[in-house]
């Protein structure tokens, strides 16, 4: 514990010098020790999230303040628990992680908190109150996207439900929200439900199977993997395309503004998880590690991105600016997650950061805005709280108004 205190004090002294603040008593500028721990890896979302964190760790003055390490523990919960324990034992000052479980890591997380480690989770909440985390789980993707689809179909039609990973709390929350809407419209018929595993290839395969059985489908409610659903529609050789909701892949957004596909009836909504969340949580963690500020909310809610097809605009440069929200094919592949940038909270991030994990030339770390930054996440039983109830207005629409048959 004494070594950890010495290292933290040394890190603060180094931070003070690099940020132009008085350094106080002379202390050797030993770096703070920061760990990134990943469980699920390999898809585009997580690759971009990892690259963003790497780029921030290399951006001045963090490049002089941080001893940065990465550990991939895989999809075994016990392996992730062991990874947490080893990072804590190694004297971590901060641990940022994508947790496999909302509850199964609590004991290891609490152990980290007890010895002064800032335990920061991204893209998923945990129920251990000493941890900090930020996710968009409760921001309303399921219900808002479902209502958009109902509106497009004027309250009547056959639809597919393309889900995520079986048993995953994010998938459950999204589907519960969607069903809270679909159940109100007897004219909406769910004719196929399958798991696309948040993956384009698997979603394409499963959508193709559903199309064989139900070629007269009118719409698809999809999570990540949505571009796979479009590829299945195109491969089916059908002339009439359909309304589809999805998340943020560049291929999906580009398809929504393709004149030929629009002429064949393709309409869509792009709304979903953002790889910038890990970048912002990294900056929050660093401000706490460096004792620059404290944060009131432990469980923070990131707002739901929302880009209807008629609002998709290609970017001309390498940054999200002037109202653009995705990049042309010569700049990024189809599976690139478009919603990777947040100029307010992470202006340091540009295309080179997300694609290559490199810092943006000429940029330095910018302080986060003042205040609490993000609202407290709604109560999500078993996801960010125990012995709590889901709020009565949990599925209230925030992005779109209900379809009115009259």
pLDDT at 20: 47
Would you say the CATH fold of 140-270 matches that of 2-136+275-304+342-356?
yes
pLDDT at 23: 43
Return the sign of the alpha-carbon dihedral for residues 192, 193, 195, 199: positive
Query: What would you report as the CA-atom Rg of the chain, rounded to the nearest whole angstrom?
Result: 22
Q: Look up the CATH number of domain 2-136+275-304+342-356.
A: 3.40.50.2300
Look at residue 24 and tell me whether its pLDDT is greater than 70. no
φ/ψ of residue 49, rounded to 5: -60, -45
Block residue for tokens 């030929």: 260
Omega before 89 within 30 of 0, i.e. cis: no
Exposure string (b/e) for 148-185, b if CB count within 10 Å is 16 or more?
bbbbbbebebbbbbbbbbeebbbbbbbbebbbbbbeeb
H and E: helices and strands count for the chain: 13, 12
Q: Which residue has the higher pLDDT, 117 or 319?
A: 117
Ordered by start, the domain boundaries in the chain are 2-136+275-304+342-356, 140-270
With vertex at residue 337, the alpha carbon angle to CA 344 and CA 146, rounded to the nearest 5 degrees, is 95
- Beta carbons of 266 and 242 less than 8 angstroms apart: yes
Q: Which tokens belong to 221?
A: 């409610």
Q: Which DSSP letter does residue 311 get?
A: G
- Beta carbons of 245 and 226 less than 8 angstroms apart: yes
State pLDDT tens for residues 27-65: 345 899 999 999 877 788 999 999 999 999 999 999 999
Q: Quote the CA–CA distance of 292 and 284 in Å, as a whole number.
A: 10
Fold of 140-270: Rossmann fold (3.40.50)
pLDDT at 28: 40
Q: Which residue has the higher pLDDT, 101 or 110?
A: 110
State pLDDT tens for residues 116-128: 999 999 999 999 9
Block residue for tokens 């016990």: 78
Q: Quote the CA–CA distance of 117 and 364 in Å, as a whole number.
A: 25
CA 1 to chain centre: 34
Q: Which tokens belong to 253?
A: 């957004």
Q: Quote the CA–CA distance of 196 and 83 in Å, as a whole number.
A: 29
Q: Where are the alpha helices (DSSP H) in 320-398?
A: 351-356
pLDDT at 4: 54
């Amino acid at each position: 514990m004494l070594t950890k205190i010495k290292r933290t004090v040394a890190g603060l002294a180094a931070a003070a010098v690099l940020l132009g603040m008085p350094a106080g008593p002379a202390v050797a500028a030993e770096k703070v020790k920061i760990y990134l721990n990943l469980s699920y890896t390999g898809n585009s979302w997580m690759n971009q999230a990892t690259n963003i964190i790497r780029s921030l760790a290399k951006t001045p003055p963090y490049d002089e303040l941080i001893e940065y390490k990465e550990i991939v523990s895989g999809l075994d919960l016990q392996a992730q628990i062991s990874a947490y324990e080893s990072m804590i034992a190694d004297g971590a000052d901060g641990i940022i992680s994508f947790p496999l479980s909302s509850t199964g890591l609590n004991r290891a997380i609490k152990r980290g908190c007890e010895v002064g480690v800032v335990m920061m989770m991204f893209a998923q909440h945990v129920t251990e109150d000493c941890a900090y985390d930020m996710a968009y789980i409760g921001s309303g993707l399921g219900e808002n996207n479902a209502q958009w689809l109902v509106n497009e179909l004027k309250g009547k039609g056959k639809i597919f439900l393309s889900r995520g990973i079986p048993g995953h709390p994010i998938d459950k929350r999204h589907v519960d929200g969607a069903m809270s809407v679909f159940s109100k419209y007897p004219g909406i018929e769910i004719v196929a439900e399958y798991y696309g595993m948040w993956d384009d290839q698997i979603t394409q395969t499963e959508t193709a199977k559903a199309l064989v059985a139900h070629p007269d489908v009118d719409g698809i409610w999809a999570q990540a993997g949505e571009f796979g659903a479009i590829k299945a529609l195109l491969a089916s050789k059908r002339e009439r395309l359909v309304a589809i909701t999805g998340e943020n892949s560049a291929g999906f957004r580009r398809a929504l503004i393709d004149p030929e596909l629009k002429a064949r009836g393709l309409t869509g909504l792009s709304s979903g998880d953002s790889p910038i969340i890990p970048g912002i949580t990294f900056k929050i963690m660093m401000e706490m590690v460096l004792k620059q500020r404290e944060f009131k909310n432990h469980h923070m809610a990131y707002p739901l991105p929302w880009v209807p097809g008629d609002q998709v605009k290609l970017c001309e440069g390498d940054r999200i600016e002037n109202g653009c929200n995705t990049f042309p094919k010569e700049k990024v592949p189809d599976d690139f997650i478009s919603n990777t940038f947040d100029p307010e909270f992470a202006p340091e991030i540009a295309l080179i950061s997300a694609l290559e994990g490199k810092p943006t030339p000429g940029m330095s770390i910018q302080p986060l805005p003042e205040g609490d930054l993000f609202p407290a996440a709604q109560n999500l039983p078993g996801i960010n709280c125990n012995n709590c109830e889901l709020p009565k207005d949990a599925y209230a629409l925030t992005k779109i108004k209900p379809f009115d048959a009259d």
